[in-house]
Amino acid sequence: MLEGYRCSRVGARPTFFKSIMRYSGLKYPLQKIHDDLYEVIAEYPIQRIKDTHPIREWLECDSVFKVNKNGNYIFCRKIEEASLETE
């Protein structure tokens, strides 16, 4: 799934973590994509991921977007629109 795991010393953070972002579960950032609102769960560089399906299942996301402009995959959950019923 994730390639390029390298550490320069014992206990150090892998170098590719600088470009990987997984957000906290308390407040996910919201982003409007194709006129729909999504919670952004994580962003990973395209070159580090061979297959998005296992990561999508692990993060429990329903959508993955490939953003060539930034060179990232964005893993998201769609926010459903609320509908009001009047009597």
Instruction: Write the pLDDT tens digit of every residue in 2-54.
Output: 444 443 444 444 444 445 677 766 677 888 988 899 999 999 999 999 999 99
Count how many domains the chain has: 1
pTM of structure:
0.65
- Residue 56, in any domain of the structure: yes
42-66 b/e with 16+ CB inside 10 Å = b?
A: bbbbeebbeebeebbeebebebbbe
User: Structural domain of residue 44, as residue ranges?
Assistant: 16-78
- Residue 41, in any domain of the structure: yes
- Residue 34, in any domain of the structure: yes
- Residue 3, in any domain of the structure: no
- Residue 66, in any domain of the structure: yes
